[in-house]
Structure 1
Amino acid sequence: MQKVLGIAGWSGSGKTTLIGALLPLLAARGLTVSVIKHSHHDIELDVAGKDSQRHRASGAHEVMVVSPYRFGLFAETPQALTLEQQLSRLAAVDLVLLEGQKTLPVPRIEVHRSACAKPWLYPDDPFVIALASDCAAETDLPQLPLDDHAAIADFIANWLKDSA
């Protein structure tokens, strides 16, 4: 299985913003990184009326749209994909970041923003390996300033090297 690191926190804590800032920093360190973004809601990735959507609506098991620059794969699923199924759809990379999916048993960095007024996850989550926050916590876990993206990228790169 590929190396997986969760980026977990409450809605509005800054997970997406943090990942967006980390990706170029990790790439600059020579790492290839993919992201799996979880949504609790139904999502529509295709465009109504387009051929690919019409093929799906007509019963195609999967529809792949290909251009010279990217591709997209649309598939209906009878149930949520397991982490192994999600990872099997991705090309091999150095690291896969999971945004959300905070109940999966994978190491994760907790993103915490005091303005969200939500409780910390780490006291009840044995998979949290570090905190990225705008405030301090009472713990021995590594604590990284939420706005110090380079320090967080360094932590991830070192964690990846140490866990190899």
Structure 2
Amino acid sequence: MQNAIELATQIGVELKSKKLLLAVAESCTGGGVAYAITEVAGSSEWFDCGFVSYSNSSKTELLDIPAALIAQHGAVSEEIAAAMAESAIANSEAKVSLSTTGIAGPTGAVPGKPVGTVCFGWKVGGITHTERLVFAGDRRVVREQTIIHALNKLLKYLREL
């Protein structure tokens, strides 16, 4: 498995060649995706911004996610991940986005959503993709796996453009 900086470097090559900007909306990763991206020299050419919306109220205030949608599906849902990815684009200059929302642990599990549950959103080429996975491991491991998976899938979608 590639590390996050290597993936971010490859993503940068794809975005730059396609003249696209990226925005991220993160919850459970707390800015980890943006950190990996900005570790790449020259990322200012293809990275617009990142939103860290950890609380439900910040998802509403920063990303315009309706509180009713969060109440209906829960913050950790593919519906919210999709809304976060779409809102990152709506609130930036970017045309490509990714989002993460999940339960990194050790607490926070709810029925049907154990610790390690993460929902992802990607908006690439005008299409919104989502996915839900459950990772094993402690908080650090869940967050690391989330960052790597989010970047891996983004690279895949960019290469398909």
Q: TM-score, normalised by structure 1?
A: 0.35
Question: Larger relative CO (CA 8 A, sep 6+): 1 or 2?
Answer: 1
- The structure richer in helix per residue is 2
